[in-house]
């Protein structure tokens, strides 16, 4: 038994984590990787010039639903693993750093900036742990293939977590065919492993029937903020651009599979079905703040809200909202108010424990 399995076991015995059969194969795989990495000769060691360098061990792509322990396991691994140069970074921050370096490289000289940037990153870290890989932006999508190619070539070992399987990455993006080689590269160079734990450990902190909050008030604002904190372990998310068939959908806050908007950001702008679909494909939970009561003169907003809820419903996305009215009172009169009944009924269903994926019904 390697050191990582021991560390996992220690935590379990201390009562910090519950036994989870689905996590065990991931721990074992990470444990093996930690052993392989520790066995690699350190650069500059005695006689290292005479030895043929060992091929680096295969890294890992760990994917699964949110709250399953992907980040927890990767961090446990990162803490235990004996590698001289290791770097652990959120994928979003990593890509920001990459773009900054590319910018600099292009200013000074290089026509091909990606290769030297990959080389520089590789020289700083033998092991790169990237949390929450998610590709939503065309600027990222068009460079990750060559960037990762360069990193692998330089012997960088990559461990990454993602809420999406590789083939789901950048699903609605423009020029996706140019992105497909990256998916191939991941399959080839990383062991792709799914963490299908039955438990969403973060979801346990949420009561489904308290996710549609009325009316709009400082109290419900605070409750929504509390739900955000419970589901994301952050106070605020990072802004993000989601590429939707060549346009940009601006997500004001994103974290841990959650996206956060105000009603006006989502339904008072000229957004349509592809935007809502991209949202549903990239996030597991959507927060919508300050849904107003909609009069007959706001039929366009009402129509968009119906589209949004239908899309989230069809894609089984969870919703957290603050609203002036309960579902039945949002759009009481106006064009298509009758059909709004279906949306209201869906909104109610989306507050049920079973919608939130809970086995035990709450009272
Ligand atoms: N086996 C477990 N027992 C108890 N809590 C766990 C277990 N695995 C994960 N957690 C906790 O659940 C929360 C979500 O885990 P996290 O690793 O952030 O999930 P993910 O990265 O898959 O979204 C964290 O607070 C984590 O410490
Ligand atoms: Mg995570």
Q: Which tens digit of pLDDT belongs to each residue from 65-82?
A: 888 999 999 999 999 999
Enter the CATH code of domain 3-194: 3.40.50.300
Question: Which alpha helices (H) appear in the chain, and where do they start and end?
Answer: 3-13, 24-39, 70-80, 91-108, 114-124, 138-141, 144-153, 176-189, 218-232, 263-267, 273-282, 299-314, 340-349
46: pLDDT strictly greater than 60: no
Q: Which tens digit of pLDDT belongs to each residue from 110-144?
A: 688 999 999 999 999 999 999 999 999 999 999 99
Give the whole-angstrom CA distance, residue 8 versus residue 11. Answer: 5
pLDDT at 148: 98
3-state secondary structure 160-189: EEECCCHHHCCCCCCCHHHHHHHHHHHHHH
Residues 6+ apart with CB under 8 A from 267: 301, 304, 305, 308
Q: Is the CB of 63 under 6 A from ligand 1?
A: no
pLDDT at 1: 57
Ligand nearest to the CA of 131: 2
Q: At what angle do helices 176-189 and 144-153 cross, to 10 degrees?
A: 20
Lowest pLDDT segment from 67-71, 105-109, 215-219, 340-344: 105-109
For 255, phi then psi, to 5°, come to -165, 140
Do 137 and 243 contact (CB within 8 A), yes or no?
yes
48: pLDDT strictly greater than 80: no
Q: Is the CB of 165 under 6 A from ligand 1?
A: no
Q: Is the CB of 12 under 6 A from ligand 1?
A: no
Q: Of the candidates 18, 25, 54, which has an alpha carbon nearest to the alpha carbon of residue 38?
A: 54
Residues 6+ apart with CB under 8 A from 17: 8, 11, 69, 72
Q: Which two tokens stand for residue 130?
A: 């990237």
Give the whole-angstrom CA distance, residue 363 versus residue 348. Answer: 15
Give the whole-angstrom CA distance, residue 75 versus residue 81. Answer: 10
Q: Domain boundaries in the chain?
A: 3-194, 203-349
Q: Is the CB of 72 under 6 A from ligand 1?
A: yes
Which of 5, 15, 30, 69 has most ligand 1 atoms within 8 Å of CB, for mutation? Answer: 69
Half-sphere exposure of 352 (CA within 13 A, CB side): 12
Nearest residue by C-alpha to atom 7 in ligand 1: 17
Mean pLDDT over 260-276 rounds to: 96
pTM: 0.83
Q: Which tens digit of pLDDT belongs to each residue from 192-218?
A: 999 998 888 888 888 999 999 999 999
Q: Is the CB of 17 under 6 A from ligand 1?
A: yes
Q: Of the candidates 342, 323, 341, 86, which has an alpha carbon nearest to the alpha carbon of residue 220?
A: 323
């Amino acid at each position: 038994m390697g050191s990582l399995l021991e560390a996992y076991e220690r935590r379990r015995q201390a009562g910090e984590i519950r036994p989870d059969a689905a996590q065990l194969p991931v721990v074992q795989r990470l444990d093996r990787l930690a052993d392989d990495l520790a066995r690699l000769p350190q650069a500059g060691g005695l006689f290292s010039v005479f030895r043929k360098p060992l091929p680096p061990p295969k890294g890992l792509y760990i994917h699964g639903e949110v709250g399953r322990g992907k980040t927890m396991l990767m961090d446990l691994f990162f803490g235990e693993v004996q590698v001289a140069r290791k770097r652990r970074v959120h994928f979003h921050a990593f890509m920001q750093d990459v773009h900054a370096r590319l910018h600099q490289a292009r200013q000074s000289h290089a026509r091909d900036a990606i290769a030297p940037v990959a080389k520089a990153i590789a020289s700083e870290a033998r092991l790169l742990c990237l949390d929450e890989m998610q590709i939503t932006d065309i600027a990222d999508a068009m460079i990750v293939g060559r960037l990762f190619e360069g990193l692998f070539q330089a012997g960088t070992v990559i461990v990454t977590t993602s809420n999406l399987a590789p083939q789901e990455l950048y699903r609605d993006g423009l020029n996706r065919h140019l992105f497909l080689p990256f998916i191939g590269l991941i399959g080839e160079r990383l062991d792709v492993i799914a963490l299908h734990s039955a438990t969403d450990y973060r979801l346990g902190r949420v009561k489904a029937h308290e996710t549609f909050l009325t009316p709009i008030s400082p109290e419900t604002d605070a409750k929504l903020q509390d739900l955000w904190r419970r589901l994301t372990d952050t106070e605020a998310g990072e802004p993000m651009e989601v590429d939707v068939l060549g346009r940009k959908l601006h997500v004001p806050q994103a974290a841990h599979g959650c996206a956060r908007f105000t009603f006006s950001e989502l339904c008072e702008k000229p957004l349509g079905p592809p935007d809502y679909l991209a949202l549903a494909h990239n996030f597991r939970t959507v927060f919508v703040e300050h849904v107003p009561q909609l009069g007959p003169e706001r039929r366009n907003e009402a129509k968009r809200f119906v589209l949004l809820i239908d899309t989230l419903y069809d894609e089984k996305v969870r919703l957290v909202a603050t609203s002036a009215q309960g579902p039945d009172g949002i759009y009481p009169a106006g064009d298509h108010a009758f059909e709004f009944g279906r949306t209201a009924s869906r909104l109610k269903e989306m507050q049920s424990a079973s919608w939130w994926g809970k086995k035990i019904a709450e009272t």
